[in-house]
Chain A
Amino acid sequence: MIDTLRLTAEDAAGLLKRKEVSSEELTRAYRASIAERDPELHAYLHVTESADGDGVPIALKDVITTKGVPTTAASRILEGYVPVFDSTVAACCKDAGLPLLGKTNLDEFAMGSSTENSGFGPTRNPWDPERVPGGSSGGSAAAVAGGLAPWALGSDTGGSIKQPASLCGLVGLRPTYGTVSRYGIVAFASSLDQVGPLTKTVRDSALLMQVISGADPRDSTTVELPQPIELPEAEDLRGLRIGIPRELNEAEGMEPGVKQSVDAAIRLAEELGAEVGETRLPRSVEFGLACYYLIAPAEASANLARYDGVRFGHRAQVDGDLTELYERTRWEGFGDEPKRRIMLGTYALSAGYYEAYYGQAQKVRTVIKDEFAAAFRDFDLLVSPTSPTVAFRLGEKAENPLAMYLSDVLTIPPNMAGLPGLSIPCGLSEGLPVGLQLIGPQFSENALFRAGHALERAFAFDYVPERLR
């Protein structure tokens, strides 16, 4: 009997290697879990009926283009779209023999922090179905946390891997920008989008990163990692200098339970031998969110222009002219959040406003990069909570976009700087998981994995949701 809730991908690979179980049996076990629990969780938008591969099955966020398998980005405007090609990461998973379990739910076009913005209904948190799993990779997080997939890929623009990992008690890696191909990833904000793993353990995260990372001739913005990804073994943090950016640890709206868990985690890091000191990121935190909400919508406004009803996806039935076809198709196909961001972005790029908004935001982005670079002169890694809150209730922030945007206030600054970040669960608050964000300089994935692995062992966090144990 395969315990899909507890089995790590690494253990599953071990079972396969020792031929104690077949890939088919594994896939069947996860399909059974999907049949049992997905009606409640709604982690999947599409479950495959069959899939090739002899490895550990995987779920992919539905922005990841899969040949012959519907890919919707959780948008009605892409309903019925079946890609004719594989994204590079989907091809990497195929090449590694990972059978595709299905495509997971998300906030439409990855725009959101709760998966409530899906055009096909929200996903629920396996720890408490009354609460959101975070977002936008909420479907992938819920699938892994709920035992509906051994591991999954998400995508992270402002925190869409790290934040749901935090809210679902999982490990989420946002890799250094440019280390994982974006070819075939339905674009939200091109200069920020990055695919990464959502897993139960740090070692699983490293294993999956080995599968998906590397330069891709189809994505001009990719580079090769300077060192190959290693499976972490470290048990202590001796010699590691950890910086605690004050502004990230004392952000507005931080729940006391989250702060306590993270403070305890930092003390544990010291016990493991890390040198801990305070650092500052004043401008990154003050301006990061505002800057993000200019750059990301600006890029999105162009990235979403291709959904015009002419070549694929939804097309409105109109009697009128071309303009009416565009307007009705986009009006019917896009949900509120994409519409909001398209308007924001279009405005930020308009003649007469470009310099004040988009141009200025790009300059601030450079300031943020410089501020992080300065912090990394004194520290190897920076640490903060991943999210200021634990999983919130469905509907709690749905009517207040600004409150929802603040969910990402701690993950956005490092993302703006193109830095890698790892969220690992460090404890519970009100019975719900709290995530610890580890931020490293560019290409420091191995260092993040080593530290994350040592901390994970020390925390001994049980990733199986209490109500399902």
Chain B
Amino acid sequence: MTGWEPVVGLEIHIQLKTQTKMFCRCENVWGEGPNTRTCPVCLAHPGTLPVPNGRAIEWAVKLGLALGCEVAERSVFHRKNYFYPDLPKGYQISQYDEPLCTAGRFAVPGSGGDHEIGIVRAHLEEDAAKTVHVGGKAGRISGAAHSLVDFNRGGTPLVEIVTEPDLHSPEEARRFLQLLRQTVVELGISDAEMEKGSLRCDANVSVRREGEEGLRTKTELKNMNSFKFVGDGIAAEVARQIEVYESGGEVGQETLHFDPASGRISSLRSKEEAHDYRYFPEPDLVPVEPPAALVERMRAEIGELPAARIRRLEGELDFDLSYGLVASGRDELYERVPGERRAVANVVMNQLAATGAHPGRVNAEELGKLIEARDRIPRATFDEALTAAGEPGFTAERYLAEEAVTDASELDPVIERVLAANGSQVAAYRSGKEGLLGFFVGQVMRETQGKANPKVVNERLRERLGA
């Protein structure tokens, strides 16, 4: 990879969790029985007409503002024409040259400062229905015995976000997407779950020589359905392109599919088969002209954005911890819990997360007390308390009453037993493998069922082994 620079732009689809669909008043809900949320409009019966969902327009404006976009005073819906059974009208109502939001900048904080990703546009459109191919291989249409269409998803509202090709590594793309997801979730406009398809990501990938100006031919990598696959897929495609160039070949413009199981990239269609979507303004709808008051109301509803919070928390924590807290949505709890900041951050980010306790349900005051006492009370007690921390009515009190064993007269016999049972490790430690200290501490903690004070055990062991 040396000498080459990846150039990546993302196209992201976010399904808005409005109560009803984009252009009809069918319920917008995931996971119901097939074709139970349909009406003449979203089934494209003759004569039916779209009526825009006002809430979806508001939320798209809100998202645009959070992405630093300009909100258009006048925006137009277009028809994007193509034939497929998941598209009952034979066209998708989308936006083309007059999108709702344009020219944004979205800051992704990094350890070396902010990286600004340009947002070309964010526009509103309706989702297609879901096609299920039965029989044949791997759910593809070719060779399928028959295909079924579930129109529940058809016509649900989507915001499509297109970034500039400002991302220069798979890791950067993954981070951007994570932070974008967190932003969307905090705005309360989407579940943005990649597994459910309420957040979808395509990537436009090219590579160029380091220092090279201009862009080379890009390929489009379709529908990677987890953050990991976004990173893996882009990495695989970047590697493939570099190999093509280094072996003297040319990269062709095509649409690709990443198979996470094999890690392989396969071609979906080449440029020659590209659609002519014959966009034209949707005559059934009037232009969207969001009033200034609405835009200001949406702006006022946006809280402190994740990127800003990461930078703020960096003042008291290191970058990785503050990024981790914010990107995982745990920083809100972190900020509520009193106590020494690093300790609180570590517990909230790692140990509490491991228990599966929902951060929103944790009593911050009580958790603070627990963290403050964590060196004093037995480790087992602390872990038990953390597991219970998310339960309603949780108090730290009864756990705080327990004291860890610090008394040398109680600990020393256990230490002797552990050393006697692990003679070869003792010899190894003494010959320089000091990393084994943790092993001995772990053994002592286990022997005492977690009741020993690890700090004291540590000291005693060091003293004993050093002798």
Contacts and interface: CB of A to CB of B under 8 A. Distances in A.
B89 interface: yes
B280 A326 contact: no
Interface string A174-202: 00000000111111011100000000000
Interface string B75-91: 00001010101001111
Nearest to A72: B46
B85 A71 contact: no
20 contacts: A65-B45, A73-B46, A83-B40, A83-B46, A182-B47, A186-B46, A191-B283, A218-B51, A219-B284, A220-B49, A302-B91, A305-B91, A306-B88, A306-B90, A310-B149, A311-B43, A322-B85, A322-B147, A354-B279, A354-B280
A72 B374 CA distance: 77
A179 to B, nearest CB: 15
Interface in A258-311: 298-299, 301-302, 304-306, 308, 310-311
B47 A186 contact: yes
B141 A322 contact: yes
Contacts of A356: none
A81 B91 CA distance: 21
A346 B278 contact: yes
B276 interface: yes
What size tier do the contact residues of chain A reach?
35 or more
Given A299-B283, A326-B83, A350-B278, A308 B49 contact: no
A351 interface: yes
B23 to A, nearest CB: 9
B126 to A, nearest CB: 14
A182 B47 CA distance: 7
Nearest to A345: B278
A85 interface: yes
Interface in B38-58: 40, 43-52
B47 A65 contact: yes
B280 A302 contact: yes
Nearest to A326: B83
Interface of B: 40, 43-52, 79, 81, 83, 85, 88-91, 141, 147, 149, 276, 278-280, 283-286
Contacts of B43: 311
Contact of B280 (A63, A71, A358): A358
B63 to A, nearest CB: 23
A136 interface: no
A349 to B, nearest CB: 4
Contact of A217 (B44, B51, B280, B286): B51
B50 A220 contact: yes
Given A310-B88, A310-B149, 8 more contacts: A78-B46, A217-B51, A305-B89, A306-B88, A306-B89, A311-B43, A312-B45, A326-B83
A84 interface: yes
B229 to A, nearest CB: 28
Nearest to A71: B46
Contacts of A87: 47
A77 to B, nearest CB: 10
Contacts of A219: 49, 51, 284
Most buried by B among A189, A190, A217: A190
A306 B46 contact: yes
A350 B49 contact: no
A305 B90 contact: yes
A429 interface: no
A33 interface: no
B88 A311 contact: yes
A210 interface: no
A442 interface: no
Interface of A: 63, 65, 71, 73, 78, 81, 83-85, 87, 182-187, 189-191, 217-221, 298-299, 301-302, 304-306, 308, 310-312, 322, 326, 346, 349-351, 354, 358
Given A302-B79, A302-B90, A308-B83, A182 B280 contact: no
A65 B41 CA distance: 13
Given A84-B40, A310-B149, A346-B278, A220 B284 contact: yes
Contacts of A358: 280
Nearest to B43: A311
A71 B47 CA distance: 11
A155 to B, nearest CB: 11
A218 B89 CA distance: 17
B276 A350 contact: yes
A351 B276 contact: yes
B286 A221 contact: yes
Contact of A308 (B40, B81, B90, B286): B90
A185 B47 contact: yes
A220 B284 CA distance: 7
B83 A302 contact: no
B81 A305 contact: yes
Nearest to A190: B283
A184 B39 CA distance: 13
A306 B44 contact: yes
Contacts of A322: 85, 141, 147
Contacts of B280: 298-299, 302, 349, 354, 358
Contacts of B90: 302, 304-306, 308
Contact of A183 (B47, B91, B149, B276): B47
A467 B48 CA distance: 42
Nearest to B47: A184
Given A83-B45, A221-B284, A310 B85 contact: yes
Given A302-B81, A305-B89, A85 B40 contact: yes
A190 B89 CA distance: 14
A84 B45 CA distance: 9
A224 to B, nearest CB: 15
A456 B284 CA distance: 36
Nearest to B52: A220
Contacts of A78: 46
A377 to B, nearest CB: 26
A81 B46 CA distance: 10
B101 to A, nearest CB: 21
Nearest to B84: A322
Contacts of B91: 302, 305
Most buried by A among B51, B278, B285: B278
Nearest to B50: A220
Most buried by A among B46, B149, B285: B46
Nearest to A349: B278
B46 A311 contact: no
A371 B157 CA distance: 40
Contacts of A185: 47
Contacts of A302: 79, 81, 89-91, 278, 280
Most buried by B among A85, A302, A346: A302
B47 A187 contact: yes
